[in-house]
Amino acid sequence: MRAAVWHGKRDVRVDNVPDPEIINPRDAIVKVSSTAICGSDLHLYNGFVPTMEKGDIIGHEFMGEIVEVGSEVRNLKIGDRVVVPFPIACGSCFFCNEQLYSVCENSNPNAAMAEKMWGHSPSGIFGYSHLTGGYAGGQAEYVRVPFADVGPIKVPEGLTDEQVLFLSDILPTGYMAAEACDIKPGSVVAVWGCGPVGQFAIQSAYLLGAERVIAIDRFPERLRMAREISKAVTLDYEEVDIAAALKEMTGGRGPDACIDAVGMEAHGMGMMGAYDRVKQAMGAETDRPVALRQALMACRNGGVVSIPGVYGGFLDKIPFGSIMNRSLTIRTGQTHVHRYMRPLLERIQKGEIDPSVVITHRMSLNDAPHGYDIFCNKQDECIKIVMKP
Ligand code: NAD
Ligand code: ZN
Ligand code: ZN
């Protein structure tokens, strides 16, 4: 089959690779009909995630048709059309019972290595390095889906791929980020990053009753989408002093909640970027991560800082005294996607949210190298790419 394969930093190719096979009785094989490139894939692309190996198949946002099921998968049959959540979860461990699917303790065979290298062990994730289990990803013609009796959700008749594909990740991610904000009538929420996750965080904050959402980025096209489609008030961080502007817009108090939908590599800060090492060696203070630090400092006393943006390893210069003395609440995590798929599917069916609005590019899986290039380097025009094998 054809699949998008990681060959090194900024080197994704479409290769011929062996078809996946059922290994465990709870596996299914999905024939992919649509798959997307995520901001998280850029962390792999830019080389910020260790334990990627040449030949690894990438991609964790995908959907398609069941073409084979293991003997213990009774809820799915050949021909079913499904969306697959990006975290792999067993459905029955302590954490799955708490609906904390992205920290399932039974789905990452490399948990011990991750613990040693990173100090934490996430659940298995499709196509996301050996630290998250080394599973082959979904930017491919076929994918093996472990615990297929737990994760995939069947798509009702009448919905297109583009309406439901993002249930796999970014729609639940934006929603969980907003849900974490304890939104009440009158709440003002500020969102750093107007990528797809930021757009869905803005839209979800309104669904949950926010009075006003202020969105921050520097790309005109992303800011335009935030304004015209997601209905936010926007700020360009290259043009205004964000801290001062947010104060002024909230009567001097600061937003009730702040969402960091930027994450690490936008700052070159995965493990601690070369930029910062050089600055430190020169004895200079590092000024990153900009968005997270701004979010923490801007949030009103007693407010919530919600962090869907992905970080790995250690982050320096976090103003912890301010967090403590201003009674801030911090909420973060890889999204517990399974928890949100059904309720969000219902919202899509009712027309309350249309996830397809973020798609700017559609292409063949064969064009994945071009897709990665423009999603990484032309973020103004390229907001979300959907690929068809
Ligand atoms: P993206 O790269 O498309 O968007 C990031 C945006 O942040 C860009 O528009 C960029 O211009 C903006 N940005 C950079 N620096 C900024 C700053 N200082 N202030 C304001 N904006 C700034 O990515 P995406 O797909 O929208 O994903 C966003 C983040 O969410 C990534 O870190 C991704 O890994 C993460 N993510 C997390 C989960 C999860 O489970 N928690 C799931 C999906 C994605
Ligand atoms: Zn993702
Ligand atoms: Zn589990």
- Express each pLDDT in 250-280 by its tens digit: 999 999 999 999 987 554 433 444 445 555 5
User: What domain count does the chain have?
Assistant: 2
* CATH code assigned at 304: 3.40.50.720
Identify whether residues 375 and 318 lie together within a single domain: no
Identify whether residues 107 and 128 lie together within a single domain: yes
Identify whether residues 42 and 149 lie together within a single domain: yes
Identify whether residues 289 and 345 lie together within a single domain: no
Give the number of the ligand closest to the Cα of residue 172.
1
Does the ipTM surpass 0.90?
yes
| 153-154/81-84 β-pairing | antiparallel
- 363 close to ligand 1 (CB < 6 Angstrom): no
- 382 close to ligand 1 (CB < 6 Angstrom): no
Helices (H) and strands (E) in the chain, counts: 13, 18
Give the number of the ligand closest to the Cα of residue 166.
2
Query: In terms of DSSP H, where are the helices of 194-335?
Result: 196-207, 220-228, 242-249, 274-281, 290-298, 320-325
Q: Which of 332, 350, 372 is the last residue of a domain?
A: 332
d(Cα 162, Cα 347) in Å, to the nearest integer?
15
Q: Which of 332, 350, 373 is the last residue of a domain?
A: 332
Mutational pocket test of ligand 1: of 197, 218, 357, 381, the residue with most ligand atoms within 8 Å of the beta carbon: 197
List, for residues 85-144, the tens digit of each pLDDT value. 999 999 999 999 999 999 999 999 999 998 888 778 899 999 999 999 999 999 999 999
**Whole-number pLDDT of residue 271:** 40
Mutational pocket test of ligand 1: of 165, 262, 374, 385, the residue with most ligand atoms within 8 Å of the beta carbon: 262
Q: How far is the CA of 101 from the centre of ligand 2 (A)?
A: 15
List, for residues 3-34, the tens digit of each pLDDT value. 999 999 999 999 999 999 999 999 999 999 99
Identify whether residues 164 and 194 lie together within a single domain: no
What tokens does 224 get? 């335009």
Identify whether residues 114 and 31 lie together within a single domain: yes
d(Cα 326, Cα 367) in Å, to the nearest integer?
49
- Which domain range does residue 176 map to? 171-332
**Whole-number pLDDT of residue 119:** 79
What tokens does 290 get? 């900009």
**Whole-number pLDDT of residue 105:** 96
Identify whether residues 146 and 294 lie together within a single domain: no
Identify whether residues 292 and 243 lie together within a single domain: yes
Confirm if 44 and 51 have CB atoms less than 8 A apart: no
Q: Which of 307, 332, 357 is the last residue of a domain?
A: 332
Identify whether residues 176 and 125 lie together within a single domain: no
Confirm if 248 and 298 have CB atoms less than 8 A apart: no
Confirm if 199 and 205 have CB atoms less than 8 A apart: no
Identify whether residues 17 and 27 lie together within a single domain: yes
Identify whether residues 247 and 323 lie together within a single domain: yes
- 87 close to ligand 1 (CB < 6 Angstrom): no
Identify whether residues 142 and 16 lie together within a single domain: yes
* CATH code assigned at 73: 3.90.180.10
Q: How far is the CA of 284 from the centre of ligand 3 (A)?
A: 44
Question: Looking at ligand 1, which atom is closest to the CA of residue 177?
Answer: 41
Mean pLDDT of 168-183: 98
